[in-house]
Structure formats: C-alpha cells, structure tokens
Amino acid sequence: MSGGKPGPGYTSGGPAARVAPLLRWFGRRRRDLPWRRRRDLYGIWVSEVMLQQTRVQTVVPYYRRFLERFPTLKALAAAPLQEVLKAWEGLGYYSRARNLLHAARIVVDRHGGRVPAGGAEFRSLPGVGEYIAAAVLSIGAGAVLPVVDGNVLRVVCRWQGFAGDVRLPATRRRVRAFLEGIIPAAAPGRFNEALMELGALVCLPRSPRCPVCPLRSGCFARDRGRTGSLPVKGKKRPVPEHEVALAVIVRRGRIYIQQRPEDGHLGGLWEFPGGKCRPGERPGDAVVRECREELGAEVEALRELAVVRHAYSHFKVRLHVFACRRRRGRIRPRRPHAWVPAADLGAYPFPAANHRFLPRVAGYAEERQGFRARFARGY
C-alpha cells in the first residue's frame, strides 16, 4: 500500500451489499440506551451534545437527570443558566451546556419551540457543528448525512485501509466522502448509529474483536494484519501543567466565592479567588498577589488546605488551596460574588476539581466558626 490508498478489492461491491451485514448486526447487538427510546429531535440533540468527548457510561445518568429536570425544549429555554450548569456539573466541557441553552432559547423565539429539521437552520444554532447536525438530523429526521466521529474514523480507516492521519481534516474529508457513497437513504440514522456502535463495542482502539465484526469479510486491516497500525494518529503536543493558587476566605462563618465570566473557560461556574502562579513564584505568594489584584485587599496565607491535580483537554493544573485571612483593605469584588455558608456550597455549580477539596473548605469554615464561638464565650 502506498499514498494511504486501500489495496485492491476494498471498495468493491454495491453499497447495499456492504451495509446490510452492519445493519443486521446492529439490530441484534445494539445497546439499550435511554436516548434510543426517544425519537424526538430534542431528546436526540441533548444526548449527542452530552456524548461529545464523553463516554456513554458517564452520560447515561446525566442524560436521565437532565431530561427529568428539563423534559422539553421549552422547559430548558425557560431555565436560568445557573440551574442548567448545576444539572451539567461534573460532565465537563461546560460550553456545551451554555450553547445548548442559548440554542434552545433561539428555537423558542424563532421557531415556536420546534427544533428545525432543515440542515441550514439547525446548523446556524450555537454549538451545532457538522457532527451534531449529521447525528441529530439523520437519527431524528432521516437526513442523509454521514456522521464522522472518532469511532467512525477508526472503523472506516481499518475497513478501507485509509492511512492518512485522522487528526488532519483531509482524512476526515476522505472518510466522509466514502460514507456519502454508501449511506442508505432509507436508514441513514440507523447506519450512523451502527457505525458508531461498532467502533464502541467491536472495532476497539486496542484488541479489536475482529472474529465477531460484521465487516470482517474484506476488511483491509484484518486481512493485512494492520489493526494495530490503523488508524494513523499524529503525535499530540506536550500538555502544559499550570500551578494555580486559590484562597479560602471566611467571614462570620461564610465563605467568599465568585462567578467566572460566562464567555470563558468554565464560564458561568463558581470558584474561589486566585489564579496562575508566575514563573518561579511560590503558591503562597501567588495567592496573596492574586487576591490583591482581584479583590483589592491584602490577605495572609495561613496554611495550605489541599493540593489537587486535574487534567483538562489541552492542559493540566495543580491547585494549591490556602486558608487565608484578610489583613487590611476592603474586599471589592469585580465579578458577581457571594458569601456562602459551608452547608450551601452544594447549591452552586463548581468545576469538577473543586469538589475534591470542598469538604476541607467546609471543615475549615466550621473550625473558624467554632473558634469564634469559643472566643466569644471567653475561652
């Protein structure tokens, strides 16, 4: 094989002959997932948004809770952002939730609450890209649009012997063009679901289950012993790690928190004041500097409550959480903020990493409150 082209015979046979075994397999082996019990565009849309970059087993409980809380698109559109973010809390990639809410409100305002089944109208909504449009409209409205996600790329590159780097747009275009030639007009959604299911259950990244694959006859990678080398993936760039210092400030038993800007990373969620350490800066010094810059007050870092590591898609952080005391100057917040009793922290949506140290924050607040009570009684 040269130039990334498949060997002879791997594109032969009519579309129906190639698709039929896959659809029969899907009919027998498909998982019973909650979004497959719904055929409405809203329910399918929510599932596909949640499934982006998130595993099925993680999504299932979130999907059920989300649709219990927001059973219709109009119910979602009427909800405040904080309530939507709280329902999404822990699922990550929060821009998905913000875009979904924004899109729901547009659908209510411009389309009477009915999800548009036209490709151009649906694609114009916030957060709806090529993948979401193809998945939702093929499954829910019968649009003849192939889906290209990670599972589909792996299946097709192995099946047809495509050796281009799957991280590159050219390879995705080649896979999409191939699928456009075989996707059945009578069952485009079922075809897309079947390919994605095959990648999830059989054509696995490691140790694919070739003997039970419905596409094993004529599969390039299986015939040539190339399942370990296909698909081709270019090297990822090194992931940077940032040191971040956070301040826990308690006043009369209440903890200071502030809201992140809605248009940024983790937008709309709540956090503790602080930020990245500068090169060579100690976390304890960084938290004092950050509070001065963010709050206009001088604080003293009393002790480190926790150190938490967390990985995002393109970077990692190591959070240093400090119990802090205000020394001088009034706290003058520049963002929406709140002084919250420890028992009420759970009502606010926080980034997932914060939940790993919230119990220590609550314990510190209770300790401070106990000290104040003892001091008031004179011992």
The residues assigned a catalytic role are 48
Distance CA 213, CA 197 (A): 11
Distance CA 193, CA 56 (A): 13
Ramachandran region of residue 142, left (φ > 0), alpha (ψ -120 to 50) or beta? Answer: left
Half-sphere exposure of 366 (CA within 13 A, CB side): 9
Cα 257 from chain centre: 24
Give the type of residue at 254: R
In Å, how far are 80, 243, 346, 350 from 270, measured between CA atoms?
15, 19, 11, 5
Give the type of residue at 30: R
Distance CA 47, CA 117 (A): 17
> For strand 274-276 and strand 337-341, is the pairing parallel, antiparallel, or unpaired?
unpaired
Cβ(161)–Cβ(226) under 8 Å? yes
**Is the preceding peptide bond at 231 cis, omega within 30 degrees of 0?**
yes
Q: What is the DSSP letter of 167?
A: T
- Give DSSP secondary structure letters for 91-149: S--THHHHHHHHHHHHHHHHHTTPPP-SHHHHHTSTT--HHHHHHHHHHHH--------
